[in-house]
Chains A and B, each alone.
Chain A
Amino acid sequence: AQRVTQPEKLLSVFKGAPVELKCNYSYSGSPELFWYVQYSRQRLQLLLRHISRESIKGFTADLNKGETSFHLKKPFAQEEDSAMYYCALRAYGGATNKLIFGTGTLLAVQP
């Protein structure tokens, strides 16, 4: 079954502290994983994808196939990072593909 699990509904940290948002997935094929972010009153937007291996706004995420994880990390959190973060998996099947989301983690960065 295709599934994305984000175990934490809320993660609260102080400004300057390291952040790790957990994401685990279940998928029989070769996974394509993403992190999406939703700031207050804004639409969902792509933060980063594993195939790009890039750092966006100081965030990085490494795909670990052995642990089926794609955790999002940032060494020093900023207040403007406060948002809802969703891990997503693109699943391919036949003629269609679909984007499956985890339940999301609300990151609250305290001053």
Chain B
Amino acid sequence: GAVVSQHPSRVICKSGTSVKIECRSLDFQATTMFWYRQFPKQSLMLMATSNEGSKATYEQGVEKDKFLINHASLTLSTLTVTSAHPEDSSFYICSASTGSTEAFFGQGTRLTVV
């Protein structure tokens, strides 16, 4: 099946700094990428949907200035957590889709803000 690679898998950063997470579709072109946040023992919360070459569509309650999403190419999307705070610590997951087909998931990134 199609492979989605997320990097880094774990990151620890200091409060106030910014962190970038990359999501790559390795063997297919992803017209749409989704970014999710998962709290411990809870479901995936959709943060935003991004289509290649256009601005991301954020879900209600998600700060677009806090979570910057860039989908510059058909194989790469990035999520930047700006001025991170401890409450931003979470598991972030991306998934990629060619549109109407199934979505393929990355392995997730564990962000810890200290």
Interface residues on A, range: 10 to 19
CA distance A104 to B39 in the complex (A): 12
Asked if B107 contacts A101 (CB within 8 A), the reply is: no
Q: Does B83 contact A (CB under 8 A)?
A: no
Number of interface residues of B (CB under 8 A): 24
A43-B105, A43-B106 given as contacts; is B42 within 8 A of A98 (CB)?
A: no
CA distance A38 to B86 in the complex (A): 27
Asked if A96 contacts B49 (CB within 8 A), the reply is: yes
* Residues 31-52 of chain B, each 1 if its beta carbon lies under 8 Å from chain A, else 0: 0101010000011101001010
Q: Closest CB-CB distance, B5 to chain A, in whole Å?
A: 10
* Residues of B with C-beta under 8 A to A31: none
* Residues 71-114 of chain B, each 1 if its beta carbon lies under 8 Å from chain A, else 0: 00000000000000000000001010101101111111000000
Asked if A103 contacts B32 (CB within 8 A), the reply is: no
What is the chain A residue whose CB lies nearest that of B36? A101
Q: Does A11 contact B (CB under 8 A)?
A: no
Asked if B99 contacts A97 (CB within 8 A), the reply is: yes
Asked if A99 contacts B46 (CB within 8 A), the reply is: yes
Residues of B within 8 A of A (CB): 1, 32, 34, 36, 42-44, 46, 49, 51, 54, 57, 93, 95, 97, 99-100, 102-108
Residues of A within 8 A of B (CB): 34, 43-46, 49, 86, 95-104
